[in-house]
């Protein structure tokens, strides 16, 4: 026993060595390392994350956290610490396990040469090289790790193709932080057309980093004195490479298991690795987000697609509900007959379309480029190949233009073919929108360099860049919602004075606040009790703040101090919809077009809450007074997500605590506390009927039958006098088919049985389409509602046709 201990001990002590290279026949085992000449790089055995499996890897010495940049046996782990790496007599690196089985080996990527003196050596660049002899030129390289990248690119590494040998260098993510085997995501250069780099998930393109424009890839800034970046395209090779000229700075780019491309940075002085770019993407970074012939822009956190001039959405219905992937098609069949009937529109600051179907010529100038495009009727666009010195070379696109994006300041000029008829009235309206947001972190090749350049130039700025970056990230993801001081809010609202009170919402009063700098806010002071703890509450608020849509009121921040929980929203100058629709004079300000716009806008906002947002929110208190109007009278839904804060996030649930407003809640909710998205649809239907009629469901009672608004609408509908419902101030101005369509949609939404009611995506399609709509059935809560009770809590005097028993336990106080 003692003997074995001794053996083991001496084994550990005597064989733990560090070498600078492996000569033929030499080997290293667990505990041993190979160290590069400058001490920057080590090769040895390690376990990633929490795994106990062993891998042979390359890492940076003394960088915190541990930074592995390459793994040899990523798909074939060693089960325990018995691995041995050996350089055999043929110059091949062989990794053996405890029973001498080959786990991994290097293969010789160059043609067999006379291998009399192979030697394996890690270099300070992070490359692990097997050479034949001590020479340092490229000819004697037998194998190098840079030819087989893992998930990380390093300065000097070439990503792309050696066309002579067919070697393709790609990067691929790990499966997880514990498992370096090949994961879902990869980054590659695709040679078709004009070569460009893409990120794939499996075989699906998820983002296109773009093609080289002489300076960088699309959307990046160019090189600098401190760094190099290049793209080589010739008969032998196609690759990207970046370099750093300051040897005390390190910058690596990693495709992490979730598919993001992250950039890390450290220096010889500070060996703490820092994140430069988190690799977050915005929707416009998604490949072909706008489909064919659509241009994406991302203004104020909202992605938007527009068809290029002369094109129209392929499916207007889908386009209207912001499903853009079907893209756009030419509005008019081209009558191009090799004649010069067409012209070109110049789009500036563009991410140019996918070049995989384009042809290129490096010697043409822009004029020649234009001429060769106009001659060929299937040519749809052209651009300079190289944007340096005013532009040179030529790129021509045929057929569809895919994956375009408009930047505010980067990008390049793109000339899109349009029929002369379109050119005539081609104003500047189309792409005029100002873009404020600048994307960060999508580009696989290029961005990296930009970020690193910045820091090398100005080390002090590094921190600023990083914090700026985090701010952008926060803005995008609202990881941390801005918090306001209670004292500031108290001051802004004059101590929550009644004079500043805007209204009383479902979960507390709302005040108008004015900060010292004049900014106006809507301050919602939540009633004290919520079932949640503080952290949960904060997380929930942060989640809700991420919901962003043009038809939702924006949450700006929150304040949690002591008992106080306050939410701060953007202030809507025109207040709420009910102040217009039900007001004798202001109702005149809402003509039919405005009302229709409001009806559609609410539907889109609600669709987003129900289906498109990450959280799938049921509003539960949808009503006319919760619809706010901005300066253009565009509608914004307010108070969404509050139910979640108080009741939890079930999609469909029964609850004792019923929130909601009488007049907008459906029968199944009032009676059984059963709510779902279809309950919101009911509320929406009521709002639509109120907007069209200008009457309040709760307060209305038709003189003959004592019906509420729903009952009244239903009766007019069945008696085919539907237009009688229309607000009299609108009578002269509107298209009756549109009015009737809206009323019909309203009635479909308030049908008694939840399963009969359409979902919001159908509602949006119905409003905008011209197909025949289904016939509505009887609405819920329609007859003989006793409206004598002014109290907001329901009482037994409410006779309901469809519900015999009311079992509302509590109703949000209004
Ligand atoms: C490893 O396990 C610990 C404790 O179980 C955990 O906190 C940590 O996040 C894990 N790390 C990784 C990289 O999975
Ligand atoms: C590795 O495992 C093998 C068999 O599973 C065992 O014989 C050997 O001793 C182990 N080696 C180490 C270093 O744990
Ligand atoms: C070595 O690898 C072989 C084949 O993969 C396997 O059967 C054997 O168990 C491994 N030995 C050890 C000690 O892991
Ligand atoms: C593996 O190979 C080494 C050297 O060739 C030898 O000493 C050792 O006994 C072998 N181990 C096994 C399990 O075959
Ligand atoms: C090198 O290895 C790869 C896979 O690891 C294989 O596809 C390729 O054929 C090998 N090349 C040679 C020359 O053995
Ligand atoms: C098609 O082009 C003609 C002129 O050539 C124009 O009058 C017409 O409006 C266009 N059609 C559409 C749908 O834009
Ligand atoms: C590029 O264009 C020039 C001028 O039109 C032409 O002479 C040359 O052949 C073209 N090159 C290629 C590769 O098509
Ligand atoms: C137009 O360009 C396409 C694609 O390069 C080519 O296939 C076609 O022959 C060209 N047509 C004419 C008339 O030159
Ligand atoms: C907010 O309150 C904290 C502590 O009460 C104080 O230190 C800070 O200066 C306040 N911030 C503002 C903007 O008033
Ligand atoms: C409170 O508001 C007044 C003006 O209304 C302003 O002069 C003062 O500086 C504010 N105080 C704080 C603490 O915000
Ligand atoms: C708010 O109330 C505090 C004391 O409760 C008082 O000192 C302060 O002047 C009030 N501020 C305003 C703007 O009314
Ligand atoms: C809505 O608000 C804007 C900005 O204050 C104002 O110009 C406009 O007149 C308002 N619209 C109506 C109908 O009140």
Pocket lining for ligand 3, CB < 6 angstroms: 79, 82, 97-99, 101
The values of phi and psi at residue 293, to 5°, are 65, 20
Atom 6 (ligand 1) nearest CA: 50
Question: Which tokens belong to 406?
Answer: 């408009």
Of 47, 48, 49, 50, which is best to mutate to test ligand 1, by the most ligand atoms within 8 angstroms of its C-beta? 50
Question: Measuring CA to CA, which residue among 508, 628, 610, 518 is closest to residue 567?
Answer: 508
Number of C-alpha atoms within 13 angstroms, CB side, residue 693?
29
Q: Is the CB of 50 under 6 A from ligand 1?
A: yes
Q: How far apart are CA 718 and CA 782, in angstroms?
A: 14
Q: What is d(CA 148, CA 170) in angstroms, rounded to the nearest whole number?
A: 8
CB of 514 closer than 6 angstroms to any ligand 11 atom: no
Two structure tokens written together for 168: 């393709």
pLDDT tens digits, residue range 45-80? Answer: 999 999 999 999 999 999 989 999 999 999 999 999
Joined tokens for residue 99: 């029973």
Give 195-199 contacts, CB < 8 A, sequence gap 24+.
195/160, 195/233, 195/238, 195/355, 196/354, 196/355, 196/356, 197/159, 197/240, 197/444, 197/445, 198/287, 199/255, 199/259, 199/261, 199/444
Q: What is the spatial distance between Cα 646 and Cα 331, in angstroms, rounded to a whole number?
A: 50
Q: Phi and psi dihedrals of 241, rounded to 5?
A: -155, 145
Nearest residue by C-alpha to atom 6 in ligand 4:
100
**CB of 30 within 8 A of CB of 83?**
yes
Å from CA of 730 to ligand 1 middle: 65
> What is d(CA 81, CA 32) in angstroms, rounded to the nearest whole number?
12
**Ligand that comes closest to the CA of residue 51:** 1
Using the mean position of ligand 2's atoms as its centre, give its distance from the Cα of residue 181 in Å: 23
The response to whether residue 519 sits with its C-beta less than 6 Å from ligand 9 reads no
Which residues are registered as beta bridge partners of 243? 228
User: What are the pLDDT digits (tens) for 185-194?
Assistant: 999 999 999 9
CATH number for the domain whose boundaries are 480-570? 3.30.200.20
Ligand nearest to the CA of 575: 12
> Could you report the per-residue pLDDT of 88-120, keeping only the tens digit for each?
888 899 999 999 999 999 987 555 555 578 899
Query: Measured from the CB, is residue 573 less than 6 Å from ligand 12?
Result: yes
Residue 167 alpha carbon to ligand 5 centre in Å: 9
Among protein residues, the one whose CA lies closest to atom 11 of ligand 10: 491
What are the tens digits of pLDDT across the range 490-512? 999 999 999 999 887 667 889 99
In this structure, which ligand is nearest to the CA of 482? 9
Mean pLDDT calculated for residue range 211-217: 78
Please work out whether the CB of residue 495 comes within 6 Å of at least one atom of ligand 11.
Answer: yes
Query: Looking at the domain 149-281, which fold is it?
Result: Agglutinin, subunit A (2.90.10)
Question: Contact at 8 Å (CB) between 298 and 282?
Answer: yes
Looking at residue 532, its pLDDT comes to 61
Give the closest residue to 78 by CA, choosing from 106, 57, 108. Answer: 57
Q: Is the pLDDT of residue 473 over 70?
A: no
What's the pLDDT at 340? 62
Between 150 and 442, name the one with better pLDDT. Answer: 150
Long-range contacts formed by 485-488: CB under 8 A, 24+ apart: 485/559, 485/561, 486/559, 486/561, 486/562, 486/564, 486/566, 488/515
Which atom of ligand 9 lies at the shortest distance from residue 487's CA? 14
**Percent of the residues in the chain that have a pLDDT greater than 70, as a whole number:** 80
The single residue listed with the structure tokens 């919101």 is 680
User: What pLDDT does residue 194 have?
Assistant: 93
State yes or no: pLDDT of 3 exceeds 80.
no
Q: Which ligand is nearest to the CA of 488?
A: 10
Q: How far apart are the first and last CA of the chain?
A: 82
Q: What span, in angstroms and rounded, lies between the C-alpha atoms of 167 and 164?
A: 8
With the most atoms of ligand 3 within 8 angstroms of its CB, the residue from 29, 45, 78, 99 to mutate is: 99
Residue in 12, 70, 16 with CA at minimum distance from that of residue 41: 70
Residue 477 has pLDDT above 50, yes or no: no
Q: How far is CA 32 from CA 69, 84, 436, 562, 812, in A?
A: 18, 10, 53, 57, 69
Q: Which CATH code for domain 578-791? A: 1.10.510.10
Among 4, 41, 3, 2, CA closest to 19 = 41
Could you tell me the two tokens for 766? 């119905």
Strand intervals (E) in 36-156:
41-46, 55-60, 68-71, 84-87, 93-96, 102-105, 118-122, 128-132, 141-144, 152-153
Distance in Å, CA 98 to ligand 4 centroid = 8
How many A from CA of 106 to the centre of ligand 5? Answer: 8
Residues ≥6 apart with Cβ < 8 Å to 644: 540, 544, 615, 617
Lowest mean pLDDT among 7-16, 278-287, 349-358, 537-546: 7-16
CA dihedral 74→75→81→87, nearest 10 degrees, is -70
Place of tokens 């217009």: 580
CA of 52 to the centre of ligand 1 (A): 12
The residue nearest atom 9 of ligand 3, judged by CA position, is 99
CATH architecture of 15-147: Orthogonal Prism (2.90)
Chain CA centroid to CA 3, Å: 62
Closest ligand 11 atom to residue 491 Cα is: 13
At residue 301, the pLDDT reads 65
Q: Do domains 15-147 and 149-281 have the same CATH topology?
A: yes
CA 43 – CA 32 distance, rounded (Å): 9
Dihedral pair phi/psi, residue 205, rounded to 5°:
-75, 125
**Residue located via tokens 């700026």:** 468
* Nearest Cα to Cα of residue 469 among 266, 218, 243, 262: 262
Average confidence (pLDDT) over 310-328? 85
Secondary structure of residue 163 in the 3-state scheme:
coil
- Sheet bearing 196-201, strands edge to edge: 171-176, 179-190, 196-201, 204-211
What does the chain come to in residues?
814
Closest CA relative to residue 695, chosen from 735, 666, 727? 727
52 lines ligand 1 (CB under 6 A): no
pLDDT interval class at 227 (50, 70, 90):
low
**Ligand with an atom nearest the CA of residue 78:** 3
Number of other residues whose CB lies within 10 A of the CB of residue 145: 25
pLDDT at position 384 is 93
Q: What residues does ligand 6 touch, defined as CB less than 6 Å away? A: 331-332, 421
Q: Is 582 in the pocket of ligand 8 (CB under 6 A)?
A: no
Q: Does residue 648 register a pLDDT over 60?
A: no
750 phi/psi in degrees, rounded to 5: -100, 15
CB of 163 closer than 8 Å to CB of 237 = yes
Residue-by-residue DSSP string for 442-464: --SSSHHHHHHHHHHH-HHHHHH
Catalytic residues: 621
Q: What are φ and ψ of residue 452, in 5° steps?
A: -70, -40
Nearest Cα residue to 382 out of 336, 340, 421, 345:
345
The rounded distance, in Å, linking the Cα atoms of 500 and 511 is: 5
Query: What are the domain boundaries of the chain?
Result: 15-147, 149-281, 284-425, 480-570, 578-791
- The pair of three-digit structure tokens given for residue 36, joined into one six-digit string: 């590069």
Ligand 9 site, residue 485, Cβ cutoff 6 A: yes
* Res 809: pLDDT: 25
C-beta separation of 609 from 637 below 8 A = yes
- Span from the CA of 541 to the centroid of ligand 9 (angstroms): 21
Q: Strands 328-330 and 159-162: what pairing?
A: unpaired
């Amino acid at each position: 026993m003692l003997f074995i201990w001794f053996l083991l001990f001496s084994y550990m002590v005597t064989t733990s060595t560090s070498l600078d290279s492996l000569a033929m026949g030499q080997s290293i085992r667990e505990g041993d390392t190979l160290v590069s000449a400058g001490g920057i790089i080590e090769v040895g055995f390690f376990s990633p994350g929490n795994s106990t499996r062993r891998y042979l890897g390359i890492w940076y010495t003394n960088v915190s956290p541990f930074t592995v940049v390459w793994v040899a046996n990523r798909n074939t782990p060693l089960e325990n610490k018995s691995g041995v790496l050996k350089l055999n007599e043929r110059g091949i690196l062989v990794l053996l396990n405890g029973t001498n089985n080959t786990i991994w080996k290097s293969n010789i990527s160059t043609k067999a040469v006379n291998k009399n003196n192979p030697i394996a050596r890690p270099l300070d660049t992070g490359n692990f090289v097997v050479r034949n002899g001590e020479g340092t030129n490229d000819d004697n390289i037998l194998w190098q790790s840079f030819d087989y990248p893992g998930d990380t690119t390093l300065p000097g590494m070439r990503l792309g193709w050696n066309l002579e040998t067919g070697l393709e260098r790609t990067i691929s993510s790990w499966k997880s932080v514990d498992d370096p085997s090949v994961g879902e995501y990869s980054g590659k250069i695709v040679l078709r057309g004009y070569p460009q780099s893409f990120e794939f998930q499996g075989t699906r393109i998820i983002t296109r980093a773009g093609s080289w424009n002489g300076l960088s890839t699309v959307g990046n800034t160019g090189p600098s004195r401190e760094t190099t970046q290049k793209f080589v395209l010739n008969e032998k090779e196609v690759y990207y490479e970046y370099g750093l000229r300051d040897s005390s700075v390190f910058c690596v780019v990693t495709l992490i298991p979730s598919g993001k491309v992250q950039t890390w940075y450290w220096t010889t002085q500070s060996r703490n690795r820092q994140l430069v770019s988190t690799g977050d993407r915005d929707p416009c970074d998604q490949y072909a987000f706008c489909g064919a012939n659509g241009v994406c822009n991302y203004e104020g956190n909202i992605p938007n697609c527009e068809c290029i001039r002369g094109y129209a959405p392929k499916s207007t219905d889908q386009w209207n509900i912001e499903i853009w992937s079907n893209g756009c098609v030419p509005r008019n069949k081209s009558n191009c007959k090799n004649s010069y009937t067409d012209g070109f529109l110049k789009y500036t600051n563009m991410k140019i379309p996918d070049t995989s179907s384009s042809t290129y010529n490096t010697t043409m100038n822009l004029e020649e480029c234009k001429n060769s495009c106009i001659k060929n009727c299937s040519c749809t666009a052209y651009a300079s190949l190289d944007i340096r010195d005013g532009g040179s070379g030529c790129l021509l696109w045929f057929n569809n233009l895919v994956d375009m994006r408009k930047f505010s300041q980067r990008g390049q000029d793109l000339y899109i073919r349009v029929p002369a008829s379109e050119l005539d009235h081609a104003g500047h309206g189309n792409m005029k929108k100002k873009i404020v947001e600048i994307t960060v972190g999508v580009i696989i090749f290029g961005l990296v360099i930009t970020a690193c350049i910045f820091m090398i130039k100005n080390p002090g700025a590094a921190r600023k860049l990083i914090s700026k970056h985090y701010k952008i990230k926060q803005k995008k993801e609202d990881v941390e919602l801005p918090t306001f001081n209670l004292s500031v809010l108290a001051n802004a609202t004059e101590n929550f004075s009644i004079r500043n009170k805007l209204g009383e919402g479902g979960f507390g009063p709302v005040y108008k606040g004015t900060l010292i700098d004049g900014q106006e806010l809507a301050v919602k002071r939540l009633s004290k009790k919520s079932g949640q703890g503080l952290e949960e509450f904060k997380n929930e608020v942060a989640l809700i703040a991420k919901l962003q849509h043009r038809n939702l009121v924006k949450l700006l921040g929150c304040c949690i101090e002591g008992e106080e929980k306050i939410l701060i929203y953007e202030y809507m100058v025109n207040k709420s919809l009910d102040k217009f629709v039900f007001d004798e004079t202001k109702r005149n300000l809402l003509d039919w077009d405005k009302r229709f716009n409001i009806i559609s806008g609410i539907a889109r906002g609600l669709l987003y809450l129900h289906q498109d947002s990450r959280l799938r929110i049921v509003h539960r208190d949808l009503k006319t007074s919760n619809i706010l109007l901005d300066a253009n009278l565009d509608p914004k839904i307010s108070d969404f997500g509050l139910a979640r804060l108080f009741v939890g996030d079930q999609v469909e649930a029964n609850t004792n605590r019923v929130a909601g407003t009488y007049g907008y809640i459906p029968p199944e909710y009032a009676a059984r506390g059963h709510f779902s998205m279809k309950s919101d649809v009911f509320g929406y239907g009521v709002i639509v009927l109120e907007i069209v009629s200008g009457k309040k469901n709760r307060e209305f009672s038709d003189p003959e039958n004592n019906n509420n608004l729903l009952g009244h609408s239903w009766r007019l509908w069945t008696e085919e006098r539907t237009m009688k419902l229309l607000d009299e101030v609108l009578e002269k101005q509107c298209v009756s088919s549109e009015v009737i369509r809206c009323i019909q949609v309203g009635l479909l939404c308030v049908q008694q049985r939840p399963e009969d009611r359409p979902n919001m995506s159908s509602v949006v399609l119905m409003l905008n389409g011209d197909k025949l709509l289904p016939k509505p059935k009887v609405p819920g809560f329609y007859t003989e509602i006793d409206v004598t009770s002014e109290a907001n809590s329901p009482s037994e005097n409410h006779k309901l046709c469809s519900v015999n028993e009311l079992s509302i336990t509590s109703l949000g106080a209004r």
